[in-house]
Structure 1
Amino acid sequence: MEMCKLRVARPTRSLATVVRFYREGLGFELVGGFEDHAGFDGVMLGQVGTPYHLEFTVERGHEAPRAPSPDHLLVLYVSRREEWDARVRRMVQAGFHPVRSHNPYWDVYGKTFEDPDGYRVVLYQGEWTR
Structure 2
Amino acid sequence: MTIENATIRIARPTDNLDDLLPFYRDGLGFQVLYEFGGHGDFDGIMLGHPGAPYHLEFTKAHGHTAGRAPTEDNLLVFYLPEPERFDAAVQRMCGAGFDPVGAFNAYWDVKGATFEDPDGYRIVLQNAAWGV
Match of 2:123 in 1: 121
Which residue identity lines up with residue 73 of structure 2 in the other structure?
Answer: D
Q: Which of these residues, 23, 37, 40, is aligned with residue 38 of structure 1?
A: 40
Matched, 1:100 2:111: no
Q: Which of these residues, 47, 58, 64, is aligned with residue 62 of structure 1?
A: 64
Match of 1:4 in 2: 6
Percent sequence identity over matched residues?
A: 54
Match of 1:15 in 2: 17
In the TM superposition, residue 49 of structure 1 has moved relative to its aligned partner by 3.6
Q: Return 5+ residue gaps in structure 1 as ranges.
A: none
Number of matched pairs: 130
Q: Give SS of 1:126's match.
A: coil
Match of 1:72 in 2: 74
For residues 64 and 6 of structure 2, the distance between their equivalents in structure 1, rounded to whole angstroms, comes to 32
In the TM superposition, residue 121 of structure 1 has moved relative to its aligned partner by 0.3
In the TM superposition, residue 64 of structure 1 has moved relative to its aligned partner by 1.2
Scaled by the length of structure 1, the TM-score of the pair is 0.95
Q: CA RMSD in A?
A: 1.2
